[in-house]
Structure 1
Amino acid sequence: MIAEKTPIQPVPLMAAPQIRIVESTDIFRGQTEIMIRHEGVIYRMKITRQGKLILNK
């Protein structure tokens, strides 16, 4: 004899929080290097000749 199971209600999915996208041109403003202060520590972000980003502490 097969017992009937109560159907499980699907859990409603929460909307994913919006992730902000910032253009690098807005951050660098024509420069190839910027300094970023995070929790009191200064980081350097640089655009390489190949167009990649490097972040150093």
Structure 2
Amino acid sequence: MIAEKVPTPPAPPVAAPTRLIESADIFRGQNEILIRHAGAIYRMKITRQGKLILNK
């Protein structure tokens, strides 16, 4: 009796690591920046408590 070879499924693709960006690199000493995304302008602010707020 000859055993049939069962094909092994291909390995799942390896996801690229998520990028980590320091907020200091984005804000560069400012408390507010503007971000353009898909044609819309967003405002990101650092609050007095050090939190981030994103508004459209």
| TM-score under structure 2 length normalisation | 0.75
Partner of residue 46, structure 1 = 45
Question: Any idea what the Cα deviations from partners look like across 1:9-53, whole Å, max 9, x if unmatched?
Answer: 8x8554332100000000000000000000110000000000000
Consecutive unaligned residues of structure 2, counting only runs of 5 or more, are 1-7
Hey, what does 2:18 align to over in structure 1?
A: 19
The range that moved more, 12-21 or 41-50, is 12-21
Q: Please state whether the residue corresponding to 1:50 is helix, strand or coil.
A: coil
TM-score (norm 1): 0.73
Identity of aligned residues (%): 67
RMSD: 2.0
- SS in structure 2 at match of 1:31: coil
Runs of 4+ in 1 over 6 A off after TM superposition: none
**1:5 corresponding residue in structure 2:** none
5+ residue gaps, structure 1, are: 1-8
